[in-house]
A and B are shown apart, each in its own frame.
Chain A
Amino acid sequence: MGGCVPAMVEELTAKKEREYRLIDRVLSGHHEDFHELIAAYRRGVYLAAYDILQIAADAEEVAQEAFLKAFRGLRGFRRESQFATWLFRIAVNEARMKLRRRREVPLESVFPDDEEGDYTPTMLADWREIPSDALLREETRRFVREAIAALPERYREIITLRDVNGLNIAETAEILGISTGNTKVRLLRARLLLRDLFVERTNRKGKAQSQRGATP
Chain B
Amino acid sequence: MKLDCKHIWRELSNYLDGEIAEEVRREVEAHVAQCKHCAALLDSTHNVLVLVADERRMELPPGFNARLRERLERELATSQPD
List residues of chain A with CB under 8 Å of any chain B CB.
Answer: 26-27, 31-32, 34-35, 42-43, 46-47, 50, 56, 60, 63-64, 67-68, 71-76, 118-121, 123, 127-130, 132, 135, 140-141, 144-145, 147-148, 159-160, 163-164, 169, 184, 187-188, 191-192, 194-195, 198-199
Contacts and interface: CB of A to CB of B under 8 A. Distances in A.
Interface in B7-44: 9-10, 12-14, 16-17, 19, 37, 39-41, 43-44
25 contacts: A26-B81, A32-B76, A43-B56, A43-B59, A46-B61, A56-B61, A64-B72, A67-B72, A72-B79, A72-B82, A73-B81, A73-B82, A129-B40, A130-B43, A130-B44, A130-B48, A140-B51, A144-B48, A147-B48, A148-B56, A159-B52, A160-B56, A188-B10, A191-B12, A192-B12
Given A163-B49, A191-B45, A119 B75 contact: no
Interface of B: 6, 9-10, 12-14, 16-17, 19, 37, 39-41, 43-45, 47-53, 55-57, 59-61, 64-65, 67-69, 71-72, 75-77, 79, 81-82
A34 B14 CA distance: 36
Nearest to B49: A163
Contact of A164 (B16, B53, B76): B53
B48 A64 contact: no
A135 B47 contact: yes
Question: From DSSP, what is the main secondary structure of chain B's interface residues?
Answer: helix
Contacts of B55: 141, 144-145, 148
Nearest to B6: A118
A185 B15 CA distance: 13
Contacts of A127: 37, 40
A188 B51 contact: no
A99 to B, nearest CB: 19
B45 A195 contact: yes
Nearest to B56: A164
Contacts of B76: 31-32, 34, 71
